[in-house]
Amino acid sequence: MASSDPAARAAELRDVLNRALIAYHVEDEPIMEDAAYDALFDELLALEEEQPDLVTPDSPTQRVGAPASERFRKVQHLSPMGSLDKVTTAEAVSKWADDVRKRLGKEGDAVAYVLEPKIDGLAINLTYRDGVLEQGATRGDGVEGEDVTVNLRTIRAIPLAMAGEKVPGTVEVRGEVYMPLSGFNALNERLVAEEKKPTPNPRNAAAGSLRQKDSTITAARPLSFWAYAIGVHDGVELASQWETLAWLREHGFPTNPYAERVETVEEVVEHSVAWETRRSELDYEIDGIVIKVDSYAQQERLGALHGRPRWARAFKWAPMTAVTRLHKIAIRVGRTGALNPWAMLEPVEVGGVTVSRATLHNEEDINRKGIREGDDVIVQRAGDVIPQVVGPAGPHRKGTKEFRMPTHCPLCGTEIVKPEGEAMHRCPNRACPSRGLETLISWVEGPADVDGVGEQTVRTLWQQGLVRSLPDLYRLQKEQLLELDGFGEISASNAIEQIESSRTRVPFSRVLLGLNIAGIGWVLAQNLARHFETVDKLMAAAPEEIAEVEGFGPDRAEAVAEWFADDDNRALVEELRRLGLNFELSAAEQPSEGPLTGRTYVITGTLERFSRDDAQARLEALGAKVTNSVSAKTTGLVVGEEPGASKLAKAQKAEVPILSESDLLSLLGES
């Protein structure tokens, strides 16, 4: 029952709202809907407006709007905030651990470590007196920082009053204020839409937000907080970092859920290295792993050097974003005629790799992000994906124009079309030379997977006029390769050998895929191959027969029939057959019987451990079927990075189980 006494009701509301914030930020288990939170918040606000003496400093209504005079005053931390020495290689981590063990002597045999993601944000120091937040300051030089209390109070992950029993008289809680990537991207989109300068990375965004003169602006920024250490702590007995993290949580401070305690150096190295690829799973940027000796007694014995503790190291990776000049937006015509814009960049190091080109999606996307030729742009790599241009790094210079797609194909001059409702522009000319080039590139990199012959070689062969079609590739002679720059006796022999081996190695379904029929990807190519078994039967099939193949509707079936009715395409098939490529289903391509017989899976998004082909092949080897579209008959939807939204939605609607990559691994018996 809600209290009728206003003071009691205000206390109740404060309590439940503060508990809701902790449930959300610390426990990751929300206890109420946003709307319910807002309603209770409004009720408390109304009570406090009526009776201002009910306002307490820890009321959730007191997060915005303190007096201006106190802003950015310099304040001293009660105990200094150190900084960390960094290491960048697994070897350096091992060397540091050796040093730690040596320094600890006999005790060095039992060292446990705490690993914490190193959040790329801003270190802050929060001072609580008798459990109430009194002051929040930036790290500054470690001794003296800036008082940003009013702005920190707007961050809902930071408790205004500590939770739990037995709060200390004075405690300093340290941690990182950061901006989640989703919030960062949304903020930049908004800034660009308002013709303001976007922020280059989430760290700057967090720093800029914390230094706002007007705390209502900070309040509107999606900032969050992880606590990872304490400074001065009156009367609190803690023996280790691991205990400290638990103590922080108990008192209402969010700590990073991925922090872990390990007992061997091997685990330290293995886990730290693994995080470099895992980091793309997170909705915030981490630039490394902080490795801490767990025991406080051991920390003390190890001590510090120039304010940098010997008991900890930051294992840092190269940043995943960088700013560089976008020289030109170039166009590449894809193997189905789609015009793909891409960015020619001034080479720049991003995440340890030099990047000189990046993908751009389409005209609309480029202009929505405000990307223009000649701008300095933010380039981002996430995981192993191709670098992307996030947006401009500063306000547009005057005179640069919005990007426009060419009106005519840069390769064959045919007028470009943009089909109704589609984002892509296309060259409608089926004989456009670029299509041949892209087909060849995708053939050597995809279906045929020719080792040692990649995009660059194919481009050169194309430019020299040596290879203009798939049959040309299988007629190529070593002597022709030797005439090219970059080929010697050995590399030319190897390349020819690889091409040679692909001639008979590539199974029928992959050859079909390589023919580059619009709309036919790996699953449909396989379904066609299995259904018709030979290319002759496929070529003779009427559209209605093709429509019976799993995954085909009338339109797609019509398009396939049309492709095989075309004289040039039939000639291509004959030529490839004469050259020895497979146009009949082999035993290896037949569905096999196994523990997963009768089950049907769909894969969406990019998997980390497998290519999709690989994942499909392994599922099929166990008897499962892999299809392209989710229906009520689907056993499970395997979801990788950047999954297709419609597949996910369909799966949810049809209540098809969603499987992660690790679920897939256990399904394959490999977990």
Active site residues: 118
* Structure tokens given for 40: 């209770």
Is residue 589 near ligand IVH by the rule CB under 6 A?
Answer: no
Is residue 561 near ligand IVH by the rule CB under 6 A?
Answer: no
292 or 435: CB nearest ligand IVH = 292
Determine the 3-state secondary structure of 100 from DSSP.
helix
228 or 522: CB nearest ligand IVH = 228
Is residue 317 near ligand IVH by the rule CB under 6 A?
Answer: no
Is residue 113 near ligand IVH by the rule CB under 6 A?
Answer: no
288 or 436: CB nearest ligand IVH = 288
Region at 376 (left for phi over 0; alpha for psi -120 to 50; beta for the rest): beta
Binding mask 410-429 for ligand IVH (x = CB under 6 A): --------------------
Dist. CA 86–CA 316, nearest whole Å = 6
- State which of residues 23, 132, 220, 314 lies at the interface with ligand IVH (CB under 6 A): 314
Distances (CA, A) of 31 to 17, 28, 37, 289, 335: 10, 9, 10, 31, 51
Instruction: Please spell the DSSP secondary structure of 24-89, one letter per residue.
Output: HHTSS---S-HHHHHHHHHHHHHHHHH-GGG--TT-GGGGS---GGGTT-EEE-SS------EE-S
Count how many residues are written for the chain: 671
- State which of residues 14, 63, 71, 118 lies at the interface with ligand IVH (CB under 6 A): 118
Is residue 294 near ligand IVH by the rule CB under 6 A?
Answer: no
Dist. CA 571–CA 574, nearest whole Å = 5
55 contacts 61 by C-beta, under 8 angstroms? yes
Quick count: other Cβ atoms within 10 Å of Cβ 659? 20
Residue with token string 């409702």? 421
Query: Phi and psi for 20 in degrees, rounded to 5?
Result: -65, -40
Q: Which residue sits closest to ligand IVH, CB atoms considered?
A: 82
Q: Least CB distance from residue 138 to ligand IVH, whole Å?
A: 10
Is residue 375 near ligand IVH by the rule CB under 6 A?
Answer: no
Quick count: other Cβ atoms within 10 Å of Cβ 166? 10
| Span interacting with ligand IVH, options 115-123, 129-137, 160-168, 217-225, rule CB under 6 A | 115-123
User: Facing residues of 115 across strands?
Assistant: 260, 291
Total number of residues that touch ligand IVH (CB under 6 A): 14
Which among 145, 113, 125, 80 is positioned nearest to 227, based on CA atoms?
125
82 or 643: CB nearest ligand IVH = 82
| Span interacting with ligand IVH, options 3-11, 81-89, 390-398, 530-538, rule CB under 6 A | 81-89
- State which of residues 26, 44, 75, 119 lies at the interface with ligand IVH (CB under 6 A): 119
| Span interacting with ligand IVH, options 80-88, 158-166, 179-187, 526-534, rule CB under 6 A | 80-88
Is residue 647 near ligand IVH by the rule CB under 6 A?
Answer: no
Is residue 83 near ligand IVH by the rule CB under 6 A?
Answer: yes
Residue with token string 């108990």? 250
- State which of residues 146, 172, 176, 294 lies at the interface with ligand IVH (CB under 6 A): 176
Is residue 309 near ligand IVH by the rule CB under 6 A?
Answer: yes
- State which of residues 63, 139, 249, 510 lies at the interface with ligand IVH (CB under 6 A): 139
Is residue 123 near ligand IVH by the rule CB under 6 A?
Answer: yes
- State which of residues 126, 290, 350, 432 lies at the interface with ligand IVH (CB under 6 A): 290
Looking at this protein, which amino acid is placed at residue 586?
A: S
Distances (CA, A) of 587 to 179, 339, 509, 513, 536: 54, 39, 12, 18, 18
Q: Residue 23: exposed, middle, or buried by beta-carbon count in 10 A (0-12, 13-18, 19+)?
A: middle
Query: Phi and psi for 575 in degrees, rounded to 5?
Result: -60, -45
Tell me, letter by letter, the H, E, C secondary structure of 62-75: HHCCCCHHHCCCEE
| Span interacting with ligand IVH, options 76-84, 160-168, 179-187, 525-533, rule CB under 6 A | 76-84
Q: Least CB distance from residue 89 to ligand IVH, whole Å?
A: 18
Q: Least CB distance from residue 229 to ligand IVH, whole Å?
A: 5
Query: Phi and psi for 84 in degrees, rounded to 5?
Result: -110, 140
For ligand IVH, the binding residues in 223-252 under the rule CB under 6 A are 228-229
Q: Name the residues that contact ligand IVH, by CB under 6 A.
A: 82-84, 116, 118-119, 123, 139, 176, 228-229, 290, 309, 314
